[in-house]
Structure formats: structure tokens, C-alpha cells
Amino acid sequence: MKRTVPLVIAAFTGFVLIVSYFIPYAQSWGEEAMIWFDILAAVAFVLGGGNLLKTHLQKISNRRAGWGFSLITISAFLITLGIGLAKMGVHPAEKFPEFAWSGDYLSQSSGFGWIYDFVYLPLAATMFSLLAFFIASAAFRAFRAKNTEAMILLGTAFIVLFGRTHAGIYVSQPVVDWLTAISGAEAGSLAGLRLDRITSTITSVFILAGNRAITIGIALGIVSLSLKVLLGVDRSYLGSEE
């Protein structure tokens, strides 16, 4: 029963979404199903918040390694939640001036907006900026010329990286001119050998072809897995009956 009911709900919703994709009349059914999911996800926020508190309070209580971070996490969570729910610093909306809480919680004057703009965003940007260093370290490892394949990868990466800069054009243009002069070819006929053109060919032919092959595989994989889930062939995501 514990697995059958979710399976029936999943299968029913899945088939409704499929039908709504092909039959215009049923489009709203699909939208309705997605609204139900949004409601469930919103309710689950409470579950997530509760779990966050439980996990970190346990950590603090047991003085486990890194408990100080848990303390900061819980403090930040409660402060943000309190400021957001109390709508601290929010001015009443123009439409309802008599209601103190009618303003937007993300307005510039709000405490929540302040936390978002001046605490959350800079922290998120800091994490994101780490990516630049990680790209460098990953590229260093990936482009080591260990074997033939790695050398081809390195060469292609060099062309694409260099071809995307102005320097690529400045450096390759004289070479193309020289080749045109010594081969007696028509002016401009060898322009395809310029690094920016080679880069464009690599991205629009080789990379695109590879990408499409991967996309077709992904599409087929999604169809197959969806079907298995809808028909109950794969129930591993549903947990146990007991």
C-alpha cells in the first residue's frame, strides 16, 4: 500500500502531463498538476527547515567537529526567517497605507531585502568566483599531453581558446596571407584557416554534432526511464513496503 498509492499518483499525474502535451483541451490539466506539485514543495519547506534545525542542534549539542559552523547556520537561519516573517523595515504598500505589513518583503527598505542584497548575494558571488580557480586547476589536469587523445584535446582547446581572442586573428592573419602568397591562391580563399574561423568550424560542426548525439541519447534515456517509472517497472525511488 505504501508503495502502491504513490505509484498510482505518479502514474496518473505522468499520463495527465503526457495527454496535456498533445491535446490542447487538456493543457490546463497539466498546469493544474504542476500547481499541486508547487503546493507540495512549499509545504515541504517546513520539513526542510525542521530538518535543518534538528541536524545542526544535534551537532551543537554533541559538540561534534564543526559545531561552530552549525551555530552560525542556525543563527543566520533564525535571524533571516524572523526578519522576513516580521517584514521588518517594510513600508506599507501604496494601495493599502493603513496596513503596516502590506509592503513587499523584498523592497529596498526591508531588512530581508538588505540581507539578500548585502549578505546573501556577495556570499553567493564569492562561491561562484571560486569557479575561475577551479577551471584553471581542472584545465591543467585535463590538458596534460599524456597520450594521443589528450594531445588532440590540448590542441583543440588551444585553437578554441586562442581563436576566441583578438590575438588569434592578429597572429593567424599574416600566416594566412603568407600561405596565400606562396601558393598563388585567390585572395581570401584561404581565410578559413584563420584561427577564429577554425574555432567557429570546431564549435559549429564537431562540438555541435557531439552535443546532438548526447542530446538524442538523453532524450531516449528520459523516455525509457519515465516509462519505467510510470509503469512501475522501476520502483527503487519509492522506498519499501514496510
- Interacting residues with another protein (CB under 8 A): 21-25, 27-28, 34, 37, 40-41, 44-45, 47-48, 51-52, 55, 58, 65-66, 69, 120, 123-124, 127-128, 130-131, 134-135, 137-139, 141-142, 211-212, 214-229, 231, 233-234, 236-240, 242
Nearest approach, Cβ of residue 73 and another protein (Å): 8
Choice between 127 and 182, CB closer to another protein: 127
In angstroms, the CA 155 to CA 239 distance is 48
In angstroms, the CA 207 to CA 10 distance is 37
Choice between 34 and 79, CB closer to another protein: 34
Nearest approach, Cβ of residue 163 and another protein (Å): 17
Nearest approach, Cβ of residue 26 and another protein (Å): 8
Nearest approach, Cβ of residue 127 and another protein (Å): 4
Nearest approach, Cβ of residue 199 and another protein (Å): 16
DSSP states of the chain? -TTHHHHHHHHHHHHHHHHHHH-GGGHHHHHHHHHHHHHHHHHHHHHHHHHHHHHHHHHHHTT-TTHHHHHHHHHHHHHHHHHHHHTTTPPPPSS-TT-TT-S-TTSTTSHHHHHIIIIIHHHHHHHHHHHHHHHHHHHHHHT---SHHHHHHHHHHHHHHHHTSHHHHHHHHHHHHHHHHHHTPPTTTTGGGSHHHHHHHIIIIIIHHHHHHHHHHHHHHHHHHHHHHHHTS--GGG----
Nearest approach, Cβ of residue 221 and another protein (Å): 3
Choice between 204 and 224, CB closer to another protein: 224
